[in-house]
Amino acid sequence: MDNLPSTLIDQFGRKVDYIRLSITDRCDFRCVYCMGEDMQFLPRDAVLSLEECARLVKVFVQLGVSKVRITGGEPLVRKNALWLFEEIGKLKGLDELVLTTNGSQLSKHAAHLKKAGVKRINISVDSLKPERFKSITRTGDLSKVLESIDSCIQIGFEGIKLNTVLMRGINDDETESLVQFAIDKNIDISFIEEMPLGEVSHARENTFVSNTETLKLLQSKYTLLPSAESTGGPARYWRVANRYTKVGFISPHSHNFCESCNRVRITCQGELYLCLGQEDKVELMPLLRAFPENDAPIMEAIVESMKTKPKGHDFDLKRATPAVVRFMSHTGG
């Protein structure tokens, strides 16, 4: 393995130092923009073991990855997930271990996650109205999510951020109230444009809300100062004047962020996706299982994959069927 690089550089000269690892396709919510109502989840033997997840992260860190985000489905429904966070948290060379969650299970695990080394947590909240929240998530209990947010604040995580997907006619009338909630809690919030991944029950072309529109609305209510701050992902931030809160915008449609892409995604099946919006992938699970004591073939496959990482995604809401047929929950949050 002496000839392998210590950093991952793709064919366009972009340094890949951030991985998003899904540890389960299962979720206790069924958010309307993320998955279908009647999902068929993978059998247990088709999913990476937690030991395989830990091994993969270790390999990526050896190749220069310094930030790892654990996603799902809902990662905290995975049995013994805390063990994985503890193992990853021990790795030398890893600067950031972060979590994306729906918050349903978070309050009871928050203290253990912080002790394991999780620095920042993103919590999905698309409405502050209990009945609407349940309608969007199909099963979710808003009170449990709000309890989790308060638990994380009390425990003292370095960064807590809400993630919100606005949908026209569904929850876009809550834009200001969601930002004000974040301001009142001294936490951050990011608005994520809905992405055309998988067949869902509504026409995305009709519900799409651009972040350009959202920013304009918020600028009429708040003094927002452009910020060069970054958390290493695709969000572009504005700081609310004289407040702790930053407002982020992840805009795959209205402001393509591919030129600075520094990340890849690994599904719970060990599929390495080089781009969220493309189908190019490398199967890592067979290598993990064929070479249980030898990381070299896995490392070589990862390094080789950088030659095929595409320049960018190609989202088009007007297509009759999505260019990417897998659900958001399959790739990982």
CA distances from residue 318 to 137, 254, 314 in whole angstroms, order as listed:
24, 14, 12
Q: What is the DSSP letter of 208?
A: B
User: Has residue 197 been placed in a domain?
Assistant: yes
Q: What are phi and psi of 52, to 5 degrees?
A: -70, -40
Distance CA 212, CA 120 (A): 26
Q: At 219, which helix (H) or strand (E)?
A: helix 211-219
Rounded Cα distance between 33 and 198, Å, is 9
Establish if 2 belongs to a structural domain.
Answer: no
CA dihedral 268, 269, 271, 272 (to 10 degrees): 30
Residue by residue, pLDDT tens for the chain (333 residues) are: 567 788 999 999 999 999 999 999 999 888 888 877 777 889 888 999 999 999 999 999 999 999 999 999 999 999 999 999 999 999 999 999 999 999 999 999 999 999 999 999 999 999 999 999 999 999 999 999 999 999 999 999 999 999 999 999 999 999 999 999 999 999 999 999 987 654 544 555 788 999 999 999 999 999 999 998 877 777 899 999 999 999 999 987 555 557 778 999 999 999 999 987 777 899 999 999 999 999 999 999 999 999 999 887 554 545 445 444 545 555 665
Look at strands 224-226 and 236-240 and give their pairing: antiparallel
What is the structure's pLDDT at 30? 86
- What pLDDT is recorded for position 194? 87
Answer whether residue 42 is part of any domain.
yes
CA atoms within 13 A on the CB side of 49: 8
Q: Which amino acid is at 63?
A: L
Q: Is residue 34 part of a domain?
A: yes
End-to-end CA distance of the chain: 32
Write the DSSP string, 76-98.
GGSTTHHHHHHHHHT-TT--EEE
In whole angstroms, give the CA distance from residue 112 to residue 94: 19
Domains identified in the chain, total number: 1
Structural domain span for residue 105: 8-331
Cα torsion at 36, 39, 44, 50 (round to 10°)?
20
Distance (Å, whole) CA 29 – CA 297: 37
Q: Name residues whose C-beta falls within 8 Å of residue 13's C-beta, 6 or more positions apart in sequence.
A: none
Q: Which residue has the tokens 């951020």?
A: 161
Residue 144 φ then ψ, to 5°: -70, -40
Indicate left, alpha or beta for 253 from its phi (over 0: left) and psi (-120 to 50: alpha): alpha
Asked whether residue 3 is assigned to any structural domain, the reply reads no
User: Distance (Å, rounded) from C-alpha 54 to C-alpha 52?
Assistant: 5
Spatial distance between the Cα atoms of 266 and 128, rounded to a whole number of angstroms: 31
CATH number (domain holding residue 113): 3.20.20.70
Q: Does a structural domain hold residue 118?
A: yes
Peptide bond into 64 cis (omega under 30): no
Taken in order 170, 175, 177, 183, the sign of the CA dihedral is positive
For Cα atoms 48, 296, 284, give the angle at the middle one, nearest 5 degrees: 30
pLDDT value of position 258: 73
Q: Is residue 95 part of a domain?
A: yes
